Structure 1
Amino acid sequence: MPIQQSDVVYTAVATAENGRDGRVSTDDGKLDVVVNPPKEQGGSGAGTNPEQLFAAGYSACFQGALAVVARQENADISGSTVTAHVGIGKNDEGFGLIVEIAAKIPNVDAATAKSLVEKAHQVCPYSKATRGNITVTLSA
């Protein structure tokens, strides 16, 4: 179910100049980066790119969702990491994304780690936003 505007507790604001070959900055000045296509897409690779920024946001959000689930399950996820691999490639409609979320949770057994990751995928806002739109695979 979509949230209502009255339920929004925070809104991030970022502005891009010159698309994938320019600059992205936030209204509060905390982020101001040069963006360039990676060399694999014919760019200079001198700056970051939208896929890296998406991977950074998704991995941080998923780690937060994992922490919420772990608290509910009384699981120790200290020392855990979440890595997002975001790929871009051609599809029938031009280009699309594919994501792999890889979680390392050292203080739980493999079955518990898998369960925590699957539950985090259900509550993570990035996972909810991409569900049904792009392929997301999980590993723990």
Structure 2
Amino acid sequence: MEASLLHLATSDPLTGLWNRRHFTEVVNGELGRVRRHGVQAGLMLLDLDHFKRINDTRGHAAGDEVLRHFAGIVSRHLREADVFARLRGEEFAVLLPCIDDAAGACVPRNACGNTDREYAGRSSMACRCPSRSGHRRGDAGG
């Protein structure tokens, strides 16, 4: 029962990803680790362009299916240690612990490139994410 309640409190019911509250807790913990040990971490923010158009023209059920499908595509291109969450609506984030600059730069291109290929010709939606994930080494407090 307790595990079930914890799952409900920390996950997004539509996509099965972590929710914003849980993601924030994990990021805060990772920032502490970055500060203490001087390791690197990346943060990737993803937003689905023109998502509202899908809901408006095809309905919310179709929009929900797009969100679930998008979550599945991106999940397949992440490492086991990465933390993928739905922040709200069509906004997602990925925490990339222990990742160097070269690997961190590849993750957004791979995730978004594969998503864009999957949706090519099916909609006007595109995944928008930075060309590089942000990294901090040492003092994560800025």
Give the alignment's TM-score, normalised by structure 2: 0.36
Q: Which structure is higher in RCO with an 8 Å CA cutoff and minimum separation 6? A: 2
- Higher relative strand content: 1
TM-score by length of 1: 0.36
